[in-house]
A = this chain, B = another copy of it.
């Protein structure tokens, strides 16, 4: 009999392993933050002596969801400007507010709000792009949240950095600082083809190759981005990036609503990862990402919420559902982006795209215990005929009762354990008052 930290027994365990195994009446044994074994519950207490044994009678356990694209600190701008065209939204609302308010305090408090919201919604890892990324990394690490923090770069100065060289040097300092933190990874995050020059892209590409790090970037979000690039560079943004050597398996291409057949083939050939943000693309009327065409080409499509300013939440269950529904409407095929594929997209496939597949993305022996428990105790969760359909089409994040990251319980019966929701609420109301005034 082995003594372990935690034993979680549940009615259903959705492992998201290679065979999409769903186990009934099994238990996950956790020690030192890792999954030691998954065994039938009837044998579990004979095999393991757990310091803590949680028996989930009517719950589903599954890997935590991965929010593959967000700007966490912008949660303080949730709903600040809706129903407004993209350029007016940016130029008259978001940018002026950011210019006035974004500093280390804003990023600290906004990141706390975002991480708290994500944890309460079953997200256990997020991939972020924003200013003062070292602050977001610090907040995530201190709460116990897993994060992939983007080393942002732009040509123009902000409160965070004076120009591309300072963005990069600050990013690399962040990378050095968090190299040994088990929860924090870094990727390069040049903002977009229209805000980053060729020479900055070349520098980033050299660093990315040297350090073998992904590059996370907005690409082909709108038609006007394409039109402007054709005017300025004579080519579409994706072709420009390809010429600069950035089109490869390390690229995480966010949005991709404007794609022709040739580009889709090149994405497939180069094993580029596409991060789809359906709700933001709808809200800003950016266009439709051709998700089913990408899947038909065996391209890895993963899912992000984008920021609270264009969504207006960080709800990955809702985003999954929107992605699965919208893909059907856009492709005119009810079979498009089926539920099982949508679940894989936001767990194991996201882990693969971020280079974290040895750590997270499925519930399997030796992986980190990043696990969420979904309650099936209320009428909204019934009947339950097919568990994947249920997770994608009928699961609300408010049914996430418990969340573990690296075996540490961060949400217990919907209450956060490592940060005070009341304090976050008070700080958020304080910011909203300042920003509105």
A428 touches B383 (CB 8 A): yes
B311 touches A393 (CB 8 A): yes
B334 touches A436 (CB 8 A): no
A89 contacts B by Cβ under 8 Å: yes
For A35, the chain B residues whose CB sits under 8 A away are: none
Name the prevailing secondary structure of the A interface residues.
helix
Query: Measured between alpha carbons, how far is A85 from B334 in the docked complex, in Å?
Result: 5
| Chain A, 385-437, CB within 8 A of any chain B CB | 385-386, 389-390, 392-394, 396-398, 421, 424-425, 428-429, 431-432, 435-436
Interface centre among A85, A89, A394, A429 (most CB of B within 10 A): A394
| Chain A, 364-393, CB within 8 A of any chain B CB | 378-380, 382-386, 389-390, 392-393
| Copies in the assembly, this chain | 2
Query: Measured between alpha carbons, how far is A331 from B83 in the docked complex, in Å?
Result: 13
Other than A84-B334, A282-B329, A396-B398, give 16 A-B pairs with Cβ distance below 8 A: A78-B382, A79-B389, A83-B336, A83-B339, A83-B389, A86-B334, A283-B393, A285-B328, A285-B332, A287-B329, A322-B325, A383-B428, A383-B429, A385-B432, A396-B397, A398-B398
For A383, the chain B residues whose CB sits under 8 A away are: 76-80, 428-429, 431-432, 435
A31 contacts B by Cβ under 8 Å: no
For A421, the chain B residues whose CB sits under 8 A away are: 378-379
Task: Give, as a whole number of angstroms, the nearest-CB distance from A208 to chain B.
Answer: 33
For A281, the chain B residues whose CB sits under 8 A away are: 329
